[in-house]
């Protein structure tokens, strides 16, 4: 597996990063982000092509993997199951549209091919 730097960011941190870029000292601190990969998880403020994740990736010339899904909830529902479909489609309220499933999709991306993540095999939580 190639050595890849993955970064998970929240909207609040992005604001801080962009403010830091305004000063010379902040510029030095954020130079190490240029050319890296960014992985975003979240809901409708993260999912679109013009979201904070996209803007951040463009600003730092990063490769973006956006796992966010509109309508995603931060807490699991009763009955939530693991859903690692790489292209999830949820119509209305769906108990599997949760952040934990985005984390499982991320794990599938970084685990070497052939290794199995037992938690991502469709078992109930």
CB atoms within 10 A of CB 122: 9
pLDDT tens digits along 13-61:
444 444 444 445 555 556 777 888 888 999 989 988 899 899 989 988 9
pLDDT tens digits along 54-90:
998 998 899 999 999 988 998 998 888 888 888 888 8
DSSP, collapsed to helix, strand or coil, labels residue 96 as coil
pLDDT for res 11: 45
Contact by Cβ (8 Å): 71, 86: no
pLDDT for res 122: 57
Backbone angle region of 122, left / alpha / beta, with phi > 0 → left and psi within -120 to 50 → alpha: left
**Residue-level length of the chain:** 125
pLDDT tens digits along 94-116:
899 999 999 988 888 888 777 76
pLDDT for res 98: 93
pLDDT for res 17: 47
Angle at Cα 39 formed by Cα 8 and Cα 119, nearest 5°? 80
Q: Is the pTM above the cut of 0.85?
A: no
Distance of alpha carbon 23 from alpha carbon 104, whole angstroms: 37
DSSP, collapsed to helix, strand or coil, labels residue 15 as helix
């Amino acid at each position: 597996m190639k050595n890849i730097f993955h970064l998970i960011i929240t909207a609040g941190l992005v604001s801080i990063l962009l403010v830091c870029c305004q000063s010379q000292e902040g510029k030095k601190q954020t130079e190490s982000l240029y050319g890296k990969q960014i992985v975003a998880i979240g809901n409708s403020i993260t999912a679109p092509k013009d979201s904070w994740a996209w803007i951040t990736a463009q600003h730092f010339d990063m490769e973006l993997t956006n796992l966010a899904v509109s309508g995603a909830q931060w807490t699991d529902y009763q009955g939530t199951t693991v859903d690692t479909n790489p292209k999830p489609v949820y119509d209305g309220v769906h108990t599997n549209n949760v952040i934990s499933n985005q984390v499982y999709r991320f794990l599938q991306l970084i685990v070497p091919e052939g290794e199995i993540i037992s938690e991502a095999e469709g078992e109930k939580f």
